[in-house]
Amino acid sequence: MPDDPHAVARPLPTRRELVAKLKRYAKPDTPRALMHFAVDWSAYVAGFALVLFAQSFVVKVAGSLLIAAAMGRLFSFAHNAAHENLATSRRLNRLLAFFAFTPIFYNYRLWCYEHHALHHPYCNDTKPDAYRPFAKAEFDALPEWRRWLERLYRGPYIIGWSVYYLKERHVQTKIRVPPYVPQDLRRAAWLNSAWVVAYASALVVLLVHAPAFGNNLTVTSALLLGLAIPFLVFDGADGFTLYVQHTDPRIPWFRDEEIDRDGPGRTELISVHLDVPRWFGWYAHDTYAHPVHHLLPRIPFFNAYEAQKELDALLGPAAVVRKPSLAWLRDTTRCCQLYDWEKKQWLDFDGKPTYPAYEWPTSLSEERDGQGARAA
């Protein structure tokens, strides 16, 4: 962005200063947490009741989508509970997280390791993480089928986010125990995987036998409406969420040895606040208020939006805030295809720069950067 001679510069707030300003939002509330847990599980069960017992096929489809919506809310709830920020009791938080992860087929132990030990301290670097971009040479070295998949993953296609999460993340990092999980965690992780598989198996058995006690169902329709459709819709929504939380023309990625987590690699500066309508933020437990979550994971989702708005004001033009729209999605998917790790610059699949190279905002001005992606 060209310098504005009329802008008034001020220092970039430090992480310590930001935490001091926002720590008042980090307040657990056990009754509120239990209320949300009950609402989310009730919606999940209600969706199955509609699938199993409604006479109308249209109502059954609505029930299937309600299951998917409830899975999305349960994921966001479990995410917060696993950070132990919802209830005042650590044990209760862990129990809530475990039972909220179960219906979305997530291994609680694996998720905690992946999220707490890898994503939060090391996001946007070369360690295993969601939607890490390829360099041009890496992309060209891939087999043709894998290059095709990458184009699908990073395109504005709903199916792409679902395929990405199912193939690259859900089974690989939420059910199967990856080889990089430390030895002392592997036994507990495999036991959690066994629990997830047992739950999924019990659900399949229930749906296979559903025509015997349900209304207007075949085995195929029961499995599609009760399992396949909700699972794929949930994975698509989850893939989209992971994509937008750290993918943006203004968001840099770093090699492991060069990253400075107190400087350009500050996680609240390399996360996106997708400023969704409030009704959708409420539905999603404000999972799109993501930068403030990286700054202070102890803030529960029911305080996240207000904390995020205050963080945006404190960061000024350094805050990456986007309004969801088709134009925003088109610009992001066109700009953020490959990455020049040396120049810190986004490229398209042909290797052409799509946005200016990243510059860390050491100071702030009154003027915000434009919201649309700019070609270099």
The owner of tokens 């400087």 is 263
Distance CA 61, CA 47 (A): 9
| pLDDT of 374 above 50 | no
Half-sphere exposure for 302 (CA within 13 Å, toward CB): 16
Does residue 243 contact residue 329 with C-beta atoms inside 8 Å?
no
pLDDT value for 365: 53
What interhelical angle do 57-82 and 30-53 show, nearest 10?
150
Count, residues in the chain: 376
Residue 119 has pLDDT above 60, yes or no: yes
Query: Which residues sit opposite 338 in a β-bridge?
Result: 347
Residue 166 scores a pLDDT above 70: yes
End-to-end CA distance of the chain: 11
Residue 334 pLDDT: 94
* Residue type present at position 192: N
Share of residues in the chain with pLDDT > 70 (%)? 94
Q: pLDDT-based confidence at 364, cuts 50/70/90? A: low
Helix (H) or strand (E) holding 274: strand 273-274
Residue 339's nearest CA partner among 241, 246, 254, 242 is 254
For residue 262, pLDDT over 70 is answered with yes
Confidence of residue 134 (pLDDT cuts 50, 70, 90): very high
Residue 367 is predicted with a pLDDT of 42
What pLDDT digit, counting tens, does each position of 144-155 carry? Answer: 999 999 999 998
- Of 318, 336, 330, which is closest to residue 344 (Cα–Cα)? 336
Segment 205-210 shows an average pLDDT of: 97
Above 90 in pLDDT, residue 216? Answer: yes
Pairing of strands 273-274, 321-322: parallel
Q: How confident is the model at residue 363 (pLDDT cuts 50, 70, 90)?
A: low
| Predicted local confidence at residue 8, as pLDDT | 54
